[in-house]
Amino acid sequence: MLTPTYLWYVPEKAEKQAEELHNKIVSVIIERMMIRLGRGEDYLFTPIDKWQMDVLQDAGYILQAVQAEIAQTTKISIAEIARTMKEAGIKALEWDDTIYKKAGLEPTPLGKSPYLQRLLQRNYEKTKGEMYNFTGTMPNACHDNYIKAVDKAYTQTASGTTGYTQAVKEAVNDIINSGADVTYPSGHRDSIETATTRAVRTGVSQMAGEITDARMDEMNWDIILTSAHLGARIGDGGDNLTNHYWWQGKFYSKSGNDPRFPPFSVCGMGNVQGIHGANCRHSHGPGDGINNLFEDYDSEENRKEYEKRKRQRELERRIRKTKRQLIGMKTAVDNAKDEALKHDLDIEYQKKAALLQKQNKAYNDYCEENNLKKQSERLNTADWNRSQASSARGAATRYNNARGK
């Protein structure tokens, strides 16, 4: 069994690597965009055939640069996933084997069990394959996003529907907001960070679940205990697998043949909405049917905590998104050659910095009002260093002073 806390933090390193990749990709696209759009309106109005040729050349450069960044980062991320899987497998069996040893059984160590190692390897390969699949969609998406953004700016400016600086600002914002998304076969889109976090947490959880099940079969053990945490998702609120609060922290019968306990199948293992499903922090392990280490939370207390933490996560995502936008906008400001454009982009940067200031205050106030611990690590984003933070604070001050705030 893996604890909910362990599964909460397990994707952290891979997520940071994904954030670094996100920021690098956006910077590559914006730097190239500023070469094409940032030299002034006169430079923008080259003959249409030359414009199209230049844009396609730029897009080809972006495709190659993004492919190189993804290859380098994915290599590091895959190594991190392998390390994480092995560590999690050992951790899960530490919990399980303690129960078995108390019962006088002698479980085989993971390192001496070829079958359990194959299960671990299979889940690693599955998670690795998922990572390769969704990062594989990114280069072409970045290529297309660039062409779409700069062509839109060119068309708007040429037709007179939008001024030059406004068109470029919109193009920059388009790239900042969608420059590093991944697309699933269903058409659903996510940021690379969200996709990575989900893949790693779910992959580790499912691996631990399979190893636990295999060990229980090996030990001829039938009683299962599920983990529990305050703020568990409640699904549709009914007594079914989508309501994690309903089935968490209880004993079950793995076979379904022990009349003292409900069958483990009600927890929905193997279903994306059940235990060990997408982003689920619950796990299971052997139990003795008597000693339950997990607190029995009141349903109303759990519901309130779930809603509070859901809102807290939303506020954290907004802050991280604004920080990424600030990093991208700063890149645009630094690479703009036209002074009027640089000025307008800097105003946009100041506006986003002031927004970040408001978001930070709203987050701090919300945590204090609801007695929630501030999750500092959830507010950080890759490349957001002291220099970036200092620059944003100064920009927010300039923006507020100019408006008499």
State the pLDDT at residue 179: 66
Contact status, residue 224 vs residue 212, Cβ threshold 8 Å? no
| CA distances in angstroms from 279 to 50, 100, 206, 297, 313, listed in the order given | 48, 28, 10, 21, 14
> What are the boundaries of each domain within the chain?
4-219, 222-297, 300-402
The first and second tokens of residue 215, run together, are 């060990």
Contact status, residue 143 vs residue 56, Cβ threshold 8 Å? no
Nearest to 265 by CA among 323, 226, 214: 226
Q: What is the mean pLDDT of residues 35-43?
A: 71
Q: What is the mean pLDDT of residues 246-268?
A: 96
Q: What is the DSSP string of 36-70?
A: HHTT-HHHH---HHHHHHHHHHHHHHHHHHHHHHH
Whether residue 249 has pLDDT greater than 60: yes
Q: Is 183 exposed, middle or buried (0-12, 13-18, 19+ CB in 10 A)?
A: middle
For 51-65, 138-152, 348-362, 382-396, which range has the lowest pLDDT when averaged over its residues?
51-65
State the pLDDT at residue 39: 67
Question: What tens digit of pLDDT does each residue of 141-158 get?
Answer: 888 888 888 888 888 888
State the pLDDT at residue 246: 95
- 3-class DSSP assignment, residue 253: strand
State the pLDDT at residue 266: 97
Q: What is the mean pLDDT of residues 284-302?
A: 89
Question: What tens digit of pLDDT does each residue of 72-126 get?
Answer: 888 888 888 999 999 999 999 999 999 999 999 999 999 899 999 999 999 999 9
pTM of the prediction?
Answer: 0.84
State the pLDDT at residue 49: 64
